[in-house]
Amino acid sequence: MNDTRKCECGHTNPVGTRLCEACGKPTEAYIQTQDPQAPEFPSMRYEGMARRSKINTRSPIDKVWNFFSSVKIAIILIVITLIASGVGTIFPQQRYIPVPVPTEESVAQFYSTTYGTLGDLYYLLGFHNLYSSWWFVTLLVMIGMSLVICSLDRIIPLYKALKKPRLNQHLSFYLGQKMHGVTDEGVSFNTSETLEKAAEGLKKKGYRVFQNGDSLMGEKARFSRWGPYINHVGLILFLLGVLLRSVPGFYMDDFVWVREGQTISVPNTPYYVKNVEYKTEYYSEDEFAQDLPIKEGEVIPKNFESKLIIYLNENEGVAGAPPKLTQVTEGSVRVNHPLTHESISYYQSGKREMELGALNFDLVNRTNNQRVGQIKVDLYEPAAEQKVGEGITVRVLDYYPDFFMDKNGMPSTKSSAPNNPMVALEVSDGKVKEKLVYVSGSLISNETNPVYELAIRKPDLLDVTGLMVRKDTMIPLIYFGCFISMVGLVMGFYWQHRRIWFHREGDRLYLAGHTNKNWFGLRQEVNQIIEPLQLPIPITVAPDVDKKKSKKEKEVRPT
């Protein structure tokens, strides 16, 4: 029996080769194993090179390899991901549901009451957290594996195939191309002159010309064949970045409320942030490009901005040590314009305006109706004691920021926010000691005829800014992946690999053309190149071999 790897031209091909690497004839192995549906001439996709997935099919590793290297599987994975993603938008994901749902039951409750039975089902199937579900992540991982394996499977054969120009091929190679032509029998021509003209025409069209004897090949934009692979590498890097984000420490996401003047610790970091000032600005009417149908008193916000100072706590990690802050940066944050320091970014993403910051009172001596001085009760950090006028001290005895009477009739606070502050004060001047209580906008004294009384003045109002604090160390990798991907896409789509062959054998001239896409353009180029040859070469372009269709050949339209 013949060695099917050995071609009649004498070259020995690796197992699995379909087109002889040297002469381009379909290999004996291809011809023998051909199923009746397959075309006589193998697909030019990888130039008939041997690919691992087509050779080894036995061991479990081969099975996995072949599974993931199949484009069919890739498409199936893509389509499943597509459909799953769509399903995830039917009802809102848990992170977007409008009401606060502290417990798992209330989440279930939400879907069930809002969306009925379908909502129940949605929740039960875990679609409310679809994109972080194990199976969705598995899909992404599988696409990633498929990308890696299919690229490895093809990249070396493709490299080998593209490395050296195919010249002096077996006639069946030329005639097997989708686009081919041959001069009619008896048509005579001057070989060297014709080939020279053809070469000239090819060069004019930007082709690189290779020649060996009476065989000529023009080639253009070979690099574009690498486009899809570069794109896939970019996608792999991107997916890697995305998956690594779930590793603890690579991604951080927090939210803090900071009121004006306050400095607080940024959770899980050695940093502190101070809100110097928060402001909201509105558009004035003369800033509009045209009159707008807005109602009286309606305003359009122009800017939400906080001035921040970021401090580093030098004593971070030192147990029990008080924070020692040194300023590291300052700046303002606006919506869409975060402040970044050491890969931690601060985003303007919330505000509470005009909140009570401090209560102000005038202390009045009722005996002579004289204003003694002013008292300020900071509602966040009330001073335990303050001196007013000559020898008078005011102490804070009790403070409930969000006052209410609990079940036992005891004063208590609902939260630490000063929504309804209640303060008990003691005024003493050495002789008298009087107690005063401020609650819900009024004052009560413990004396029936007190010496001192308080007059309420305008309280200090302040704004509270909501800052999102995020760190994403994978961003550079993710952006890099995107960039590589784009480079690949542009290479692959805005250039096409084209090859045109001229080959004389006997007294006939053969022509063939191959491109990976856009045959119409190739056809036109070929027509323009052969026009100056003044030689009738009837060209046929086989319609693409959609395996189920009959192979019908079609005349090229002259253009």
Partner 1 sequence: MIQLSNNLLLLAFVLYLVSTIVYAVAITGKKWANRDPKEHQQRFGRIGFAITFIGFLSQTGYVAIRWIAGGHSPTSNMFEFIAFLSYCIVIGFLILYRIYRMTILGAFAVPLAAIMLAYASVFPKEVTPLIPALQSYWLQIHVTTAALGEGILAVGFASGLMYLIRTVPQQVSTKSTKWLEFVISVVLMMVGFIIVSTVFANLNQKTVFEFPQYKADEPTVVERMLTVEYKLPAIVAPQESKIVQPGPITPLFEAPGFMEGKDAARKLNTMIWSVLSGVVLYGLIRLLLRKRLAAAMQPTLDDIDPELIDEISYRAIAIGYPIFTLGALIFAMIWANEAWGRFWGWDPKEVWALIVWLFYSAYLHLRLSKGWLGVKSAWMAVAGFVIILITLVVVNLVIAGLHSYAGV
List residues binding ligand HEM (CB under 6 A): 69, 71, 74, 78, 143, 146-147, 150, 154, 228, 231-232, 235, 489, 492
105/120 Cα distance (integer angstroms): 12
Residue-wise DSSP of 509-540? EEEEEEESS-HHHHHHHHHHHHGGGT----EE
Query: Residue 5 has which token pair?
Result: 């790897």
Minimum CB distance to ligand HEM smaller for 13 or for 515: 515
Query: Among ligand HEM, partner 1, none, what binds residue 300 when CB lies within 5 to 8 Å by partner kind?
Result: partner 1
Q: List, in sequence order, every residue forming a beta bridge with 468; answer none if it has no partner.
A: 255, 347
What minimum distance in Å lies between the beta carbon of 27 and partner 1? Answer: 22
Four-residue CA torsion sign, 116, 121, 126, 131: negative
For residue 328, the surrounding DSSP H or E stretch is strand 325-334
Does position 124 bind partner 1 by CB under 8 A? no
Does position 345 bind partner 1 by CB under 8 A? yes
Ramachandran angles phi, psi of 120, nearest 5°: -55, -50
Does position 79 bind partner 1 by CB under 8 A? yes
459/361 Cα distance (integer angstroms): 8
Minimum CB distance to ligand HEM smaller for 147 or for 339: 147
CA atoms within 13 A on the CB side of 175: 12
Is 15 in contact with 55 (CB distance < 8 Å)?
A: yes
Given the DSSP bridges, would you call strands 442-445 and 452-472 parallel, antiparallel or unpaired?
Answer: unpaired
Minimum CB distance to partner 1 smaller for 396 or for 545: 545
Query: Among partner 1, ligand HEM, none, what binds residue 12 when CB lies within 5 to 8 Å by partner kind?
Result: none
Residue-wise DSSP of 356-415? EEEEEEEEEETTTTEEEEEEEEESSS--SEEEETTTEEEEEEEEETBEEE-TTS-EEES-
Does position 558 bind partner 1 by CB under 8 A? no
Residue selected from 286, 296, 544, 555 as contacting partner 1 according to rule CB under 8 A: 544
What minimum distance in Å lies between the beta carbon of 242 and ligand HEM? Answer: 12
What minimum distance in Å lies between the beta carbon of 214 and ligand HEM? Answer: 31
Four-residue CA torsion sign, 225, 227, 228, 232: positive
What minimum distance in Å lies between the beta carbon of 67 and ligand HEM? Answer: 10
Q: Smallest Cα–Cα separation from 478: which of 216, 162, 308, 240? A: 240
Residue selected from 12, 114, 246, 268 as contacting partner 1 according to rule CB under 8 A: 114
Ramachandran angles phi, psi of 294, nearest 5°: -105, 150
Residue selected from 96, 298, 367, 410 as contacting partner 1 according to rule CB under 8 A: 96
Minimum CB distance to partner 1 smaller for 203 or for 557: 557
The contact mask relative to partner 1 for 269-308 (x = CB under 8 A, - = no) is --------------x---xxxx-xx------xxxxx----
Query: Among ligand HEM, partner 1, none, what binds residue 301 when CB lies within 5 to 8 Å by partner kind?
Result: partner 1
Does position 63 bind partner 1 by CB under 8 A? no
Does position 135 bind partner 1 by CB under 8 A? no
Minimum CB distance to ligand HEM smaller for 45 or for 205: 45
Residue selected from 14, 126, 206, 543 as contacting partner 1 according to rule CB under 8 A: 543
Q: Which of residues 138-197 bind partner 1 (CB under 8 A)?
A: none
Does position 133 bind partner 1 by CB under 8 A? no
Residues contacting residue 359 through CB under 8 Å, at least 6 positions apart: 376, 377, 379, 421, 423, 438, 456, 459, 460
Minimum CB distance to ligand HEM smaller for 234 or for 401: 234
What minimum distance in Å lies between the beta carbon of 256 and partner 1? Answer: 13
